[in-house]
Amino acid sequence: MRMKNFWKFIITISASITLLVLLSRSLVLGDQPLPPLGHFFNPFTGFWSQAESGKAGSQEQFSSTFLADSVHIAFNQRMIPHVYASHSADAFYAQGYLHAKNRLFQMELTARAIYGRLSEILGPETLERDIFARRINFPGIVEKKLEAWSQHPDMMAFLESYVEGVNDYILSLKPPFYPLEYKLLGIRPELWSVRKTLAISVSLAATLNLNLDDFGHTNTVWILGPELYHKLFPIFPDTLLPIDIEKASYPDSVPELPSQDYENFEYLKDQLTHGTNKGVGSNNWAVRASLTRDSFPILASDPHLRLTLPNIWYEIQMHSPDFHTHGVSIPGMPSIIIGFNRHVAWGLTNSSLDVLDAYKIKWIDKSKGVYDIDGEERQAELRTEKISIKNHSDHVEEVYDTHWGPVLYGHGEDDDHNIAIQWITSEPGESCELRTMWELMKAQSLEDYQEAISHFYAPGQNIVFASVQDSIAITVQGHFPVKRPGQGRFILDGSKSENSWMGIIPQEHLPQMINPERGYVVSANEWPTYPEYPYFYAGRFDHYRGRTIAGYLESLQPLNMERMKDIQTSYFNLKAAELVPRMLEFVTERSSFKDSLENWDYGYTPDNPLPTFTELWIRECLRLSFDEIALPDSMRNMEPEEWRFLELLNDPFDPIFDIKETKTTVESAGDLIRTAWQAARTSYLQITQERRPWGRSNGLSIPHLLGISAFSHLDLFTGGNGDTVNATTKTNGPSWRMIVEMSADSVTAHVIYPGGQSGNPGSPYYDNFIADWIQGKYYPVAIHTQSQQIAQSLNYSIYLTPQ
């Protein structure tokens, strides 16, 4: 009997141990890696700890040796923290604490992306990204920024206070309360550091001004030859409305430089490939009191970025003896990036100027890293990067750092793609963006604004400004290299030192407008100036949104908050409005479908199927017109913009309209547009009736940072595209909408962003703004200098106290 029971014990205990081991290990379900299930499902330690309940009426206490004085953080019903501190350093400590409490995983993931350490936690899938981060040497740029910021000890003190706030929160965090993503990945949070904050700022620059179009332009000029290339890719459009329209104010004492010589690209024996991102854009504008109904200046700002959950922004109101400011911050960075106080408001759009140039290295002995500049031998430094990969052995990447910068692609003996890059972000000089943000947070006048922005170097931004004193301004702010005409459009010969940049454009020569006669300033990633501006620049500029906004600001006067909201959420597409009627002139067919296009208001509303057809038609027209630029799929090329296609239509018999596929006939623009019309009709009719409305074929998806669909909002019913002021695409959109009315009595704003304050998918505040954002709703905001004044208070507070 005893023996029998013994064997039964052996069987049950074996089964138990097997189960315990299985539940202790990470499993894979389909493509989805799962965390150890025993721990994960345990209601006391597992994911259930992230199932947040409401916080109304509750209080939390936290004490720290770092604080000089107590800080009170009161939340309103949208979970927006209002930080009340007696010292600015304490306010930044509180901001760090809040960022960590709400967005810890987002911060860590962003910093890891810059350090090329994603694969360490995510496996081989992110190895390419890590290799890129290491090759371009993002971590090296962090070190340079640290040097630059160290020259601003007062700012470093704020940053250290912020870092302390983050780390105090992390250290207080017990494993059951690690954010869900840490549990899913089976990792623990890493401590924060000054360097990681700087990594976040490098990440912003990488998103906004890391423009690798030089590769595509070089491929394209190879295919087309210089003459046709310049015809298809003029730097300025005919109908140009730049940011700075005051030609008289352009600097006039700038020496003229000779054009860049590419010597038929003799130094480029091969062609290059690389993808790049498109669709990062933004709007901002400010109007003076004279144009508004209530006689207050109004400022509007909506940066368009790739949308994720959680959102890139974290809304916050901060009070200290130095400032009373409301706006959005970026988790991982102290300060408010876009916002307003009781005197001024400011907003940002990306300047889109090309600040990255590529250089072909002429090796003398590649294995030893010896290369040629001006006939002299130079020695490249070999950098060895070791990348850890989860559940795999390490990857080792060797990179040469040259005079120009790191060799971005190719290191193997057989690999001829030896292109080094020079990127303005890697040369911070003495700039400290925190000083800009800090000074803007406490700015009271136009002069304060000008002083504040002068410390800002990259990513170059169009910084708009308005004050209660009825001043408005816009500055194309940043470090922009002085270049020869044409320099850096294509890959440059790296064996000639004369191909260097010639300094940076002086601050006083940057395009800017202050209180212009027309009463408003506007930017939407368009050209900063007319061609008369004496410095050469190129870039990827938007031709439609800025002109649309300017049109509205002219026609909708007197302006007020409601009209500003209508502009920000407008689906009107100027590109379609200019192109479609012109293209329809060539369509001979009579049909109700054509009539509906003719009578259309060019609104890219979600329920309308016409944008779906229009985009197909334009795409087909461009494909057939520019079929000269035929490259293998693996090669990246550039395609002329729609505005250039419209300009070329002025001569319908231009040979560019000949369709290469039809070898025996020669087509005109009319033939081409009709052929494209038929092709687009066929494609359109192949789409099922339900999928034809624009919102169905082009709806926005907001994915979770790890792409977990259950934590994402996919296929939303949204309108617009990159050319509408409400620039919502499948992946990008207005990541923050803000409209501020600058009344001297009380500055008030209307704001919203597509997400929620909490980064926790188990929180009711994870995605609670999305539905309102899609509907174009806003939330009213005011500066509350005392916590008792907070409108719609949640009666939820955190008290940070000195120990």
Partner 1 sequence: MKNLIKIVIIICGTWLWSYYLDWRFSFVWPFLIILLVPHRWAWVDLVVGFFSVFVVWLTAALVIDGGNDSILSSRLAHIFGLPNGPTLVVFCGLLGGILGSLGSLSGHFLNKSLLGTNDPSKNNV
> Smaller CB distance to partner 1: residue 8 or 368?
8
> Smaller CB distance to partner 1: residue 184 or 521?
184
Task: Report the SS3 class of residue 389.
Answer: strand
Contacts of 762 (CB under 8 A, 6+ apart): 47, 50, 51, 52, 180
Contacts of 244 (CB under 8 A, 6+ apart): 250, 474, 476, 511, 512, 513, 528, 529, 533
Contacts of 510 (CB under 8 A, 6+ apart): 475, 476, 477, 478, 480
> Smaller CB distance to partner 1: residue 42 or 507?
42
Shortest Å, Cβ 690 to partner 1: 24
> Smaller CB distance to partner 1: residue 485 or 762?
762
How far is it, in rounded angstroms, from Cα 158 to Cα 665?
A: 70
What amino acid is encoded at 646 in this protein? L
> Smaller CB distance to partner 1: residue 171 or 710?
710
How far is it, in rounded angstroms, from Cα 580 to Cα 610?
A: 11
Shortest Å, Cβ 651 to partner 1: 56
Shortest Å, Cβ 703 to partner 1: 14
> Smaller CB distance to partner 1: residue 2 or 663?
2
> Smaller CB distance to partner 1: residue 251 or 762?
762
H or E segment and range at residue 172:
helix 153-172
Shortest Å, Cβ 426 to partner 1: 40
Shortest Å, Cβ 37 to partner 1: 7
Shortest Å, Cβ 707 to partner 1: 12
> Smaller CB distance to partner 1: residue 53 or 664?
53
Shortest Å, Cβ 34 to partner 1: 8
Say whether the peptide bond before residue 581 is cis (omega within 30 degrees of 0): no
> Smaller CB distance to partner 1: residue 46 or 519?
46
Shortest Å, Cβ 770 to partner 1: 14
Residue 148 token pair: 């630059």
The candidate with the shortest Cα–Cα distance to 469, out of 435, 505, 514, 402, is: 514
> Smaller CB distance to partner 1: residue 51 or 370?
51
Shortest Å, Cβ 714 to partner 1: 12
> Smaller CB distance to partner 1: residue 93 or 766?
766
Shortest Å, Cβ 736 to partner 1: 24
Helix axes 433-441, 153-172, angle to 10 degrees: 90
Query: Where does residue 720 fall: left (phi above 0), alpha (psi -120 to 50 degrees), or beta otherwise?
Result: left
Shortest Å, Cβ 48 to partner 1: 5
> Smaller CB distance to partner 1: residue 671 or 767?
767
Q: What is the DSSP string of 577-593?
A: HHHHHHHHTT-----HH
How far is it, in rounded angstroms, from Cα 10 to Cα 719?
A: 64
Give the residue ranges of DSSP H helices in 431-481.
433-441, 446-453
Shortest Å, Cβ 709 to partner 1: 7
Say whether the peptide bond before residue 334 is cis (omega within 30 degrees of 0): no
How far is it, in rounded angstroms, from Cα 277 to Cα 302?
A: 19
Q: What is the DSSP string of 4-41?
A: HHHHHHHHHHHHHHHHHHHHHS-EEETTEEE--HHHHH
Burial of 11 (0-12, 13-18, 19+ CB in 10 A): exposed
Binding residues for partner 1, rule: CB under 8 A, are 1-3, 5-6, 8-9, 12-13, 15-16, 19-20, 23-24, 29, 32, 34, 37-39, 41-48, 50-54, 180, 708-711, 761-764, 766
CB contact at 8 A, 303 and 171: no
Residues pairing with 614 in the sheet? none
How far is it, in rounded angstroms, from Cα 307 to Cα 207?
A: 12
